[in-house]
Structure formats: structure tokens, C-alpha cells
Amino acid sequence: MTAADEYVTITDGVRLFVRTLGRGATTLIVPNGLYFIDDFSFLPADRTIVVYDVRNRGRSDTVTDRSKLARGILQDVDDLDAVRRHAGLDRFELMGHSYMGLVVALQAMRYPGHVTRVVQIGPSPPRAATQYPPELAFNDGTLAEVFSTFGQLQKEGIADPEERCRRFWSVLKCLYVTDRKDADRVAWERCELPNERNFMQYFQGEIVPSMQRLDLSPAEFAKAAMPVLTIHGRKDRSAPYGGGRDWAAQLPNARLLTIDDGGHAPWIEAPEVVFGAVKTFLDGTWPDGAETVE
């Protein structure tokens, strides 16, 4: 698939790194998807895929002016629309993983006239403060173990930032898979990039507070009336499975595909199911197993 790289400048001067794959008539935009898009190589060549690093991530500009980061995910929504306008798109599809699953849903609510279909994979819940019962929030002790190990790494005082980042990721990726033997299949670190070495500070300082401030109303959910496929692993330690159920229940035309043994990247545990479902959905029909949630 042909690839073209460029920078798109947002109105406040921040540049986003954008990669365009393919030349098809239908376009799928995948914000912050450069770390996993190679796994989705099954997507047909007759589709254009626009994938980019969001603000202060990856190869996009490092932002030192905190006022340009303060809006968090709401700024990501505005930036996504800027990418859409730059590409000259009127109608397009969206796919988002992890907290970008929240961003693409917000985009669909704010600009419903442009978005035709949405795929969420392991999305952050619509309300960050929701406390889910154990059957909807997988906790096997791994999260506590990871944070304990982080504390030990900080005490070691690793001087080289790239090495520190790689050590951090060697621990973190255990959260994202059901079985630790699959952890090395999570190759998301990109520690050669300064933005990714410093991501956690930005995520905790701006992204998380912006998610906590969200208070979506039923009227806002109702605006996203296009088909939405939410794919969520029941054993997701990073984004609770209950959040996926909430999205499917509150969006008017959404269905949930549950991956029973899936983690935060459920295509690792069930590639044929996840990839087949995404392809079927983007081709225009609901995949087998996608359920309506009351």
C-alpha cells in the first residue's frame, strides 16, 4: 500500500504528523494509530487510511506551551477535524483504540454530518468516575504489581531517557495482554521519539483531567446516530469492560462485540475475530456476535 507522509499545521501553529495509506474512494481516519496500524494490514487497498500522531505525541510537534495542551481530549477532537478538513473530506469513517476510542466518539457527536461509521477498540469509558463491579472491571493484581515495579525503576534513577522509556514499557505492556507470554507482541513504545518518552507526564497532567471533566448528556449521545461498533476485551485491565458496555448502551446505533479472553488490545488474543469484525463492519454490515446492549 502506497504511503505519503506530511505535517498538517493547526490554527495555533502546532504541526501534526500525518501518514496517508492507499488511494481508495472511502477514507478511514485513525487518530494516534501509528503504533498499531501495521497490525491492521488486512484493510483493503481500495480504502484510503489517514493515520496520524495526535498533539504532543509521536512525530508531531513537542508542545511546551501548556495552554495549547490544557483542553486535552477536546483539543484532540478539534485537531481531528482539522486533519479532516486538510484532507478535503466531507464523509469518512473513524477508528480509535484506548482513549482515542473516546475521542472518536466525541468527534461523532460533535460532527455527525461528516462521520459515517465508527469503530472503538478498548475505549475509555464515557464517564471516567464510574466505578464498575468486578465482573465489568478485570483486576487480577497485575495493575498493582506494575505500579510497584514503576516505583522501583524510579529509585534506580536510570539516566538515559530512551533506556528508561524501554524499561518502563517492558513492564507496562504486561497490562495490555491477557497472557504475559504475549507481552512482546505489544510493540508500542517508540522510545526513540522524545514525545513518547515524556508521554506519561502529559497523559496524567492534561489528558486524564480532561476525561474526568466530561459530563455527556443523553442529547449529546443521541447526536452520534451513525453505526458504531465497540470491540472490548472482557479482561481489559486498562479500560474497564463496563465502559464498552456503556458506550454500546448509550449510543443510539451501537453494538458491542465482546472478546471474552481479550485484553486491552483484543486483536492479540483473537485476531481473526477482531479483524474479521472490523472488515465486515466497514464493508457495511454488523459482524457476527455484535450485540445490542440495553
At 158 the pLDDT is: 85
Distance set, CA 91 to CA 2, 25, 29, 116, 258 (Å): 22, 11, 11, 6, 28
Predicted TM-score of the model (pTM): 0.96
DSSP string of 199-233? HHHHIIIIIHHHHHT----HHHHHH--S-EEEEEE
At 100 the pLDDT is: 98
Residue-wise pLDDT for 119-128, tens only, equals 999 999 999 9
Mean pLDDT (whole number) for 216-240: 98
Distance CA 67, CA 69 (A): 5
Residue-wise pLDDT for 153-192, tens only, equals 888 888 899 999 999 999 999 999 999 999 999 999 999 9
Taking 90 as the threshold, does the pLDDT of residue 276 lie above it?
yes
Domains and their CATH numbers in the chain: 3-139+203-282 (3.40.50.1820)
Cα dihedral: 281, 222, 92, 67 (round 10) = -130
Which residues make beta-bridge pairs with 93?
28, 117
Query: How far is CA 166 from its chain centroid?
Result: 21
Which residues make beta-bridge pairs with 221?
none
**The three grid cell numbers given for residue 27, joined into one nine-digit string:** 477514507
